[in-house]
Chains A and B, each alone.
Chain A
Amino acid sequence: MEEKVINTRKQLYDNVTKWMMNNAIYLVLLALLVIIVIISPDFISLRNFKNILVQASTRVIMALGVGGIIIAKGTDLSLGRQVGLAAVISASLLQDIKYEYRMYPDLPVLWIIVPILIVMVVTALFSTMNGFVVAKLNVDPFIATLGMMVIVYGVNSIYYDRPPYGAQPIGGLDKRFTGFAQGSIHLGSFDIPYLIIYAMIVIGIIWVIWTKTSFGKNMYAIGGNKEAALVSGVNVVVCTILVYTLAGLLYGLGGSLEAARIGSATNNTGNMYELDAISACIVGGLSFNGGVGSVSGIVTGVLIFQVIAYGLSFIGVNPYLQFIIKGLIIIIAVAIDSRKHGNNK
């Protein structure tokens, strides 16, 4: 009888630990928020949460791109540079015609969606090449995308640094374009920034693709067990390439919105964004071993980093210390994850 009681208590303890392990990232996010609020209670304001969500919007779009690749057991170091290319091209095509220092002085006013689509096609092409090199030529994704990262930076710099104005930040963006990213929908006294809406739409679409289509399921299967996918007749090469292509489309969109959000772009825009995006994915429960991960995990991962960046600045934590906290969270998240999946010897 007594033994039984001990057993149930132990079981409860086990269940609680397990639950905490499985939901560790959400708990981390919660803990961070609680700490920040304790230190500075005025952090609780609609304004702050809106700011965090807006800043997270473009990042979540990029993270979802690389997230798919990580689920398919790849990685993409060229993310940041592709975002930079997208930002520069879209900015150059959408400068205000009254701005004196235009890259294309004779360019007519374009329908805003046209340049965005153009850059999405461009980055999708580069990403498709990544996918081809990885899936067809069997180059390790780390190496393939490392190469692409450097190539895209070169391409972007050539595009960026040329007459008449040389290496100048591409500014003076068309009001329609900046408004497209910076504006909001007004619902009475409440306004929802467009960026949050775009991010929600992308999150929704990606969630449907990942969980409701054969393509999404095949992506998980390839990452989880390539051999099994192959034996079951999944076209691994095509599917892998498409995963990269999809990522490219998201980088293009993310890059354009980033340019519009900032109001200018340089060839260094997006530098190192891949590390933020990959860290967010990993903290959000994706594994470099592939096959696991969810849209909600990635969204949470991105939010965690945004809360760190914003919240810690808000309470005035030394920026160098912020780096340390960020690094610790990455390591702890992955350690928890590998305990969860690890096989004990």
Chain B
Amino acid sequence: MADTTQEIDNKPFILEMKNMSKSFPGVKALDKAMLSVREGTVHALLGENGAGKSTLMKCLFGIYNEDEGEIVFNNKRLKVSSAKQALDQGISMVHQELNQVKDMRIMDNIWLGRFPRKGPFADEVKMYQDTAKIFKELDITLNPKQKVRSLSVSESQMTEIAKAVSYDSKIIVMDEPTSSLTEIEVNHLFRIIRSLKARGVGIIYISHKMEEIKEISDEVTIMRDGKYIATRKSNEVSTDEIISLMVGRDLTHRFPVKTNQPGEVIMTVENLTSLHQPSVIDVSFDLRKGEILGIAGLVGSRRTELLETIFGTRAKKSGVIYLHGKVIKNKFPKESIKNGFALVTEERRETGIFGVANIIFNAVIANLKRYVQPIKILNNKKMQEDTAWVINSMSVKTPSHKTRISSLSGGNQQKIILGRWLLTEPEVLLLDEPTRGIDVGAKFDIYELMIELGAKEKGVIMVSSEMPELLGVTDRILVMSNGRVAGIVNTNETNQEEILRLAAKYL
């Protein structure tokens, strides 16, 4: 159980981040943000995606340099310029994507970069003993000589925590640590966290799961739009209050007026289950003409996997997809494209753009068939025209058609990729986090485009982690929880609390 208010107030601050500001071209990522963590407490850091949590953490680890503000750690001004230096000072992070050498043993990972020596050799015995000692203290039952590759996510996470302890860390940042853990694993993690607290370690706990936060944290700090909003004692604040502090904004002018009218059913998905688990289990829903269907859920709720399974980049085990009442297979992306599907991926840098190529190439690449002339030479004029259409219809800001796509901003890149798929004239457009990492103006353009597509009787499915945009743009919202459908709600009849509640249904 969390400590009482009295006990918490008696503990001194170990880390204070004051008036932190940081700007990127076009965005003020941090605007006088604050965070004060007491030793021996768990401090939850809350905020929507894009609220500035990760920027603040990157400033702490010296990955970014703050424009303004000061960090006091252990009563001293902190100045670090790399994660390694932060580690040496006693500040460590357990990453969401674990940064480990998978083919080495646990103890090698823990002592990497500072192996104990015995003459010219690494002292295996000392490594083993020291690791075993830390494991014992933390109640971890792994064999230090096991390879990291053979560990489950929660086990690798524990070794990361052990590594932090081995550096004698005073502050440990945990970024969504429970996003892919089972309940038993979460309980084990919490036991470890409590033993860390007892050692006087301050823990910054980033998560979206309200129940968890209430259970494990002592204090919460809420951020929004790069600003500090409030700090509360966890046992004195209600979930509702936290959510309203997190959202707390006027939603009216952030979204275009909806002009689309959902009509008859265009696609039906029945009992879809993917072959390789954990992934999508028994998902059924339908999509109407002119409808924008939102897909909500926590990290790890298999939303992306749902799109991939429908599109055929992920193998299906069972289930049926109907398009216009006819069964379709969508076994491979190529077939899906032919059936009128298009998928815009979340990781556009990795799976979306051809960075070194120009805009024309990026706009037409998915649809070369359209330009083939009798002797197999591509029709340059037509490609130019289509590219111009993409640029104009989506108000892409670019000096010319021949500009390298990687020199555009994230928002403009995203528009080009959307344009690429629109050129294939899809019936069903699958969008995975279409507005992640792009600025407010570009977001608005993309919302407008989606609504316009709806008005043209296309079906749009949008996966998003941003609650406001789900509530602001969609017609219905399908909430995923742990690979299953937790519920489908009408957007104008629901609210954030209901969606969050559904999202936790199968955890």
Contact = CB atoms under 8 A, between A and B. Distances in A.
B117 interface: yes
Contacts of A212: 121-122, 124
Given A212-B122, A345-B314, A231 B104 contact: no
16 contacts: A208-B121, A217-B115, A224-B102, A227-B99, A229-B113, A231-B99, A232-B84, A232-B112, A232-B114, A233-B84, A234-B112, A234-B113, A292-B103, A345-B313, A345-B314, A345-B315
Interface string A141-161: 000000000000000000000
A232 B88 CA distance: 10
B112 A345 contact: no
B234 to A, nearest CB: 31
A322 interface: no
B114 A233 contact: yes
Contact of B115 (A214, A225, A231): A214
Contacts of A313: none
A221 interface: yes
Contact of B112 (A221, A292, A344): A221
Interface in B359-405: none
Contacts of A208: 121
B314 A224 contact: no
Contact of B108 (A213, A221, A292): A221
B276 A228 contact: no
B89 to A, nearest CB: 12
B101 interface: yes
Given A221-B101, A221-B104, A292-B103, A228 B124 contact: no
Given A230-B84, A231-B99, A232-B87, 10 more contacts: A217-B122, A220-B101, A225-B102, A227-B99, A228-B109, A229-B112, A233-B84, A233-B88, A234-B112, A234-B113
A291 interface: yes
- Which 3 residue pairs spanning A and B have beta carbons closest together? A232-B113, A233-B113, A224-B101
B320 interface: no
A291 B314 CA distance: 28
A130 B197 CA distance: 49
Nearest to A220: B104
Contact of A228 (B82, B101, B308): B101
A291 B114 CA distance: 18
A217 B100 contact: no
A37 to B, nearest CB: 35
A47 B209 CA distance: 70
B120 interface: yes
Contacts of A221: 101, 104, 108, 112
Nearest to A228: B99
Contacts of A228: 99-101, 109, 112
Nearest to A216: B122
Nearest to A343: B276
Given A233-B113, A345-B276, A291 B104 contact: yes
A217 B117 CA distance: 12
Contacts of B102: 224-225, 291
A217 B103 CA distance: 11
Contacts of B103: 220, 224, 291-292
B488 interface: no
A213 B104 contact: no
A217 B108 contact: yes
A217 B127 CA distance: 13
A296 B313 CA distance: 38
Contacts of A213: 120-122
A229 B121 contact: no
B83 interface: yes
B308 to A, nearest CB: 8
Contacts of A231: 82-84, 87, 99
B117 A214 contact: yes
A297 B297 CA distance: 45
Nearest to A235: B113
A213 to B, nearest CB: 6
B135 to A, nearest CB: 19
Contacts of B315: 345
B313 A225 contact: no
Nearest to B315: A345
A214 B122 contact: yes
Contacts of A220: 101, 103-104, 108
Contacts of B87: 231-233
Interface string A99-130: 00000000000000000000000000000000
Contacts of A227: 99
Nearest to B147: A292
Nearest to B167: A232
Contacts of B83: 231
B241 to A, nearest CB: 37
B122 A225 contact: no
A71 to B, nearest CB: 9
A208 B292 CA distance: 62
Contacts of A214: 115, 117, 122
Contacts of A344: 276
A103 to B, nearest CB: 39
B297 to A, nearest CB: 20
Contacts of B120: 213
Interface in B53-100: 82-84, 87-88, 99-100
A50 B363 CA distance: 63
A292 B122 CA distance: 19
B121 A224 contact: no
A246 B132 CA distance: 33
Contacts of B109: 228
A345 B304 CA distance: 13
Interface in B237-283: 276
Contacts of A225: 99-102
B24 to A, nearest CB: 22
A208 B102 CA distance: 21
B346 to A, nearest CB: 15
B313 A217 contact: no
Interface string B185-215: 0000000000000000000000000000000
Nearest to B100: A228
Contacts of A230: 84
B10 to A, nearest CB: 35
Which residue of A221, A229, A234 has the most chain B CB atoms within 10 A of its CB atom? A221
B35 to A, nearest CB: 22
A345 B109 CA distance: 27
A258 B294 CA distance: 68
